[in-house]
Amino acid sequence: MNSTIRALSGALLAAVCVFAGTSHASVIITGTRVVFPAKAGEVTVRLTNQNSSPALVESWIDDGDAQSTPDKVNTPFLITPPLFRMEPNRDQSLRIMFTHSDQPLPADRESVFYLNVLEVPPKPNMLQAQAPANYMQFAIRSRLKLFYRPDGLQGDPAKAPSQVTFKAAMKNGNAELVVHNPTPYYVTISHVSVTTGGAAHKGDSGMVAPMADLHLAIPGLTQAPAAGSAIEYGNINDFGADTTLKGTVSP
CATH number at residue 164: 2.60.40.10
pTM, full prediction: 0.85
Burial of 184 (0-12, 13-18, 19+ CB in 10 A): buried
Question: Which of 104, 128, 149 is the C-terminal boundary of a domain?
Answer: 149
Clarify whether residues 180 and 139 are in a common domain: no
226 pLDDT exceeds 50? yes
What is the rounded average pLDDT for all residues in the chain?
88
Clarify whether residues 135 and 167 are in a common domain: no
> Into how many domains does the chain fold?
2
Secondary structure, 3-state, the chain:
CCHHHHHHHHHHHHHHHHHHHHCCCCEEECCCEEEEEHHHCEEEEEEEECCCCCEEEEEEEECCCCCCCCCCCCCCEEEECCEEEECCCCEEEEEEEECCCCCCCCCCCCEEEEEEEEEECCCCCCCCCCCCCCCCCCCEEEEEEEEEECCCCCCCCCCHHHHCEEEEEEECCEEEEEEEECCCCCEEEEEEEEEECCEEEEECCEEECCCEEEEEECCCCCCCCCCCCEEEEEEECCCCCEEEEEEEEEC
Clarify whether residues 126 and 171 are in a common domain: no
Rounded to an integer, the average pLDDT of 127-144 is 70
Rounded to an integer, the average pLDDT of 105-129 is 84
Rounded to an integer, the average pLDDT of 114-123 is 90
What are the angstrom distances between the C-alpha of 188 and each of 20, 117, 199?
22, 21, 24
Domain presence at residue 86: yes
Q: What is the pLDDT of residue 10?
A: 45
Domain presence at residue 224: yes
23 pLDDT exceeds 70? no
Q: Evaluate whether 24 touches 144 at the Cβ level (below 8 Å).
A: no
8 pLDDT exceeds 80? no
* Cα–Cα distance, 8 to 13 (Å, whole number): 9
214 pLDDT exceeds 60? yes
Q: Which domain holds residue 234?
A: 157-249
Rounded to an integer, the average pLDDT of 46-70 is 94
Domain presence at residue 6: no
User: Of the given ranges (9-18, 73-82, 128-137), which has the lowest mean pLDDT?
Assistant: 9-18
2 pLDDT exceeds 70? no
Clarify whether residues 122 and 209 are in a common domain: no
Clarify whether residues 93 and 210 are in a common domain: no
Q: Is the peptide bond before 81 cis (omega within 30 degrees of 0)?
A: yes
**Please, which pLDDT band fits residue 167 given cuts at 50, 70 and 90?**
very high
Clarify whether residues 51 and 77 are in a common domain: yes
**Residues found in the chain:** 251
Q: What is the pLDDT of residue 144?
A: 97
Domain presence at residue 68: yes
Clarify whether residues 34 and 52 are in a common domain: yes
Q: What is the pLDDT of residue 121?
A: 81
Domain presence at residue 124: yes
User: Of the given ranges (7-11, 66-70, 117-121, 188-192), which has the lowest mean pLDDT?
Assistant: 7-11
84 pLDDT exceeds 70? yes
Question: Which of 130, 149, 168 is the C-terminal boundary of a domain?
Answer: 149
Clarify whether residues 140 and 109 are in a common domain: yes
Clarify whether residues 132 and 166 are in a common domain: no
Domain presence at residue 12: no
Domain presence at residue 15: no
Clarify whether residues 172 and 134 are in a common domain: no
**Please, which pLDDT band fits residue 130 given cuts at 50, 70 and 90?**
low
Q: Evaluate whether 197 touches 175 at the Cβ level (below 8 Å).
A: no
Clarify whether residues 241 and 181 are in a common domain: yes
Domain presence at residue 2: no
Rounded to an integer, the average pLDDT of 221-245 is 97
**Please, which pLDDT band fits residue 127 given cuts at 50, 70 and 90?**
very low
Burial of 172 (0-12, 13-18, 19+ CB in 10 A): exposed
Question: Which of 88, 119, 149 is the C-terminal boundary of a domain?
Answer: 149
Q: What is the pLDDT of residue 22?
A: 40
Clarify whether residues 67 and 123 are in a common domain: yes
Per-range mean pLDDT, top range of 14-18, 37-41, 183-187: 183-187
* Cα–Cα distance, 164 to 160 (Å, whole number): 7
